[in-house]
Chain A
Amino acid sequence: MTGRQRVVFYLLLAVVAIGLPWIDNSFVLTTTIAALYLAYQALAWNLVGGLAGQFSLGNTIFIGAGAYTSTYLFVKFGISPWIGIWAGAAIAMVLAYLIGLLTFRLNLRGLYFAMVTLALAEMAQVLVENMPALGGAYGLLIPVRGTDIAAMQFESRKVYYYIVLAMVVGAAALMTFIQRARVGLMLDGLRENENAARAVGVPVVRSMQLVFALSAFLAALGGSFMAQYTLFLDPKSTFAWTEAVLFLLPAIVGGTRHWSGPVIGAFLLEVVSDSARLAFGASVKGLPQIIFGIVVILVVMRTRGGIVEWFVEVWHRRRTGDPLAKKGGNASA
């Protein structure tokens, strides 16, 4: 679209986003918060999974690191979550660096990387379950304080909405910034052909470490947010591989090349999930996931890069009237 169209579009989007809480419908607000959080974690995953092309199943490790750190610091030492979240993010980045040393530096890619991260996530779950200080298998409860800004707790859902909205905007901005920077070009190359990229000087391991650390950073902040929102934290639901899969689905379905992919994917999945639950309620359990699974299969088989890219290609084809039209080049930005 043209520059002017784009400005108008984003303006409208901003108006809708900012004005949404005034619809005064608890259901809409709750589901939008859920969708935004899903979008946020999908964007975080996409830094590694989409931009660097490394299929990580370990994002739950970082989500858990963030959630447990900020919660533990608050529950045991009374440290405000506003400070605790950064400690969690820092720990997550250290973990990411160490895991990167183990995997990227030692040339583990593809399935191997996926399995190692999956194994590490399982280890994390077992370790936390066996740590009474972190609540063991029962988890941690955050004492309810009503509206207490220092404790990052708010009576009104609206505040949480704006926080997660800001987080999504931040994550989208970070993703775009990375894509437009030098490192974005490096990632494009190494994603496509790692050996060819190394042959022309691309610092492959360093680039992967960088996005992995940033991904962990974002994921941890998200984990802390979710802990503050639900005021409850337990190892099973934090580290479960179904969670890891859930947070990568939006990027797969929506597309990994542009921030809109994970966002649209997240909203799509959330809408499907809630519609299925409303329509069939308790009668058909697991229906949302069945639909997700089918959507994933269809997207992978029918499109090359998710729904957004498919859409852009169709649009482009219509506009130029050429059935074979395809923009030359697929590098980001």
Chain B
Amino acid sequence: MPLLEVAHLSKRFGGLLAVDDVTFHVDAGQILGVIGPNGAGKSTLFAALTGFEPASSGTWSLDGKPLQGLPPEAICGAGLVRTFQIVQPFWSMSVLENAMVAAVHRATSRRHAGQLASEALDLVGLTAKQHATIGSLTIADKKALEMAKACASGARVILLDEVMAGLRPSEVDRVVDTILKLRRERQITFLIVEHLMDAVMALSDEILVLNFGAVLAKGKPSVIQRDPRVIEAYLGVVTDA
């Protein structure tokens, strides 16, 4: 049952076609890994889907509701939320307050926002640090906060943009656990842009490969890993020494 459907999405920056006629769909509860070389258009795809960059053409919808042309806050309201590659917390506020800002648009009161925020923080394991300042957080915590914010805002589909970048292996495990937990307990669907192949291949139900802005391949991880086009464009081969 497709939850997110994207049809012929293109984004042009002057002469550069950053996203080229991308069409795919994501089923409810799926984890879709998005991989590709740098400059393949992955972040631009996320920016276009969430309204931060106006798409040059194409349509996409969440649960049948068309999202093209809407501003980011409306797209978030519909349930499609992104995290930022370079974390963007509200620096002068506490962890809890950060999550509360994310929750407030769908909360009936400030107190309700607090409740929603607490629940989200609990899911990502930040409850102990809810009153901490952003400055005192580790990078892993900051990334967890990004996910908590997305969750608190009521996301049904979360676009994670290189959330594992810069983390130690133990921290990466924590992120993987959180993603699986959010899927299990909140039925959240994920699109994950990542360069950590092991993690992405293990975590994703399907992989979408982008190259030069266009879809190169989409399929199960085991199939993608053996696809010669993908290997040539991005994954590389193991050569005999």
Contacts and interface: CB of A to CB of B under 8 A. Distances in A.
B91 interface: yes
Interface stretch (B76-84, B188-196, B200-208): B76-84
Q: Mostly helix, strand, loop or mixed at chain B's interface?
A: mixed
A68 to B, nearest CB: 36
24 contacts: A182-B104, A184-B110, A189-B104, A193-B90, A195-B52, A197-B73, A199-B50, A199-B72, A199-B76, A200-B149, A200-B152, A201-B77, A201-B81, A201-B105, A202-B105, A203-B73, A326-B133, A328-B94, A328-B132, A329-B94, A329-B131, A329-B133, A331-B93, A331-B97
Contacts of A180: 110
Given A198-B76, A199-B72, A199-B84, A186 B50 contact: no
**What 7 A-B pairs are tightest by C-beta distance, nearest first?**
A329-B94, A189-B101, A201-B105, A200-B102, A201-B76, A196-B88, A330-B92
A185 B110 contact: yes
Q: Mostly helix, strand, loop or mixed at chain A's interface?
A: helix
Contacts of B105: 186, 200-203
Interface of A: 180-182, 184-186, 188-189, 192-193, 195-204, 326, 328-331
B107 interface: yes
A182 B84 contact: no
Contacts of A326: 133
Nearest to B102: A200
B101 A185 contact: yes
B135 to A, nearest CB: 10
Contacts of A204: 73
B100 interface: yes
Most central of A181, A184, A330 by chain B CB within 10 Å: A330
Given A182-B110, A185-B101, A197-B101, 8 more contacts: A182-B107, A184-B110, A185-B97, A185-B110, A188-B93, A195-B52, A199-B72, A200-B153
B97 A196 contact: no
Contact of A192 (B91, B102, B107, B152): B91
B100 A185 contact: yes
Contacts of A330: 92-93, 97
A198 B73 contact: yes
Given A193-B88, A203-B73, A182 B93 contact: no
Most central of A198, A329, A331 by chain B CB within 10 Å: A329
A13 B88 CA distance: 42
B109 interface: yes
A184 B104 CA distance: 10
Interface string B29-42: 00000000000000
A195 B51 CA distance: 11
Nearest to A329: B94
B81 A199 contact: yes
A330 B92 CA distance: 6
Nearest to B88: A196
Interface string B141-170: 000000001101110000000000000000
B175 interface: no
A326 B93 CA distance: 12
A329 B91 CA distance: 9
A181 B100 CA distance: 12
B82 to A, nearest CB: 6
Given A185-B110, A188-B93, A192-B91, A202 B50 contact: no
Contacts of A181: 110
B100 to A, nearest CB: 6
A197 B72 CA distance: 9
A192 B50 contact: no
B210 interface: no
Contacts of A203: 73, 105
A196 B89 contact: yes
Nearest to B111: A182
A192 B93 contact: yes
Contacts of B101: 185-186, 188-189, 197, 200, 202
A167 B100 CA distance: 32
Contact of A329 (B72, B96, B102, B109): B96
A197 B89 CA distance: 9
Given A201-B105, A201-B106, A202-B101, A196 B132 contact: no
A50 B110 CA distance: 20
Contacts of B73: 197-198, 201-204
B215 to A, nearest CB: 25
Most central of A182, A197, A200 by chain B CB within 10 Å: A200
B158 to A, nearest CB: 11
Contacts of B93: 188, 192, 329-331
A180 B71 CA distance: 26
B113 interface: yes
A193 B134 CA distance: 14
Contacts of B131: 328-329
B102 A201 contact: yes
B150 A200 contact: yes
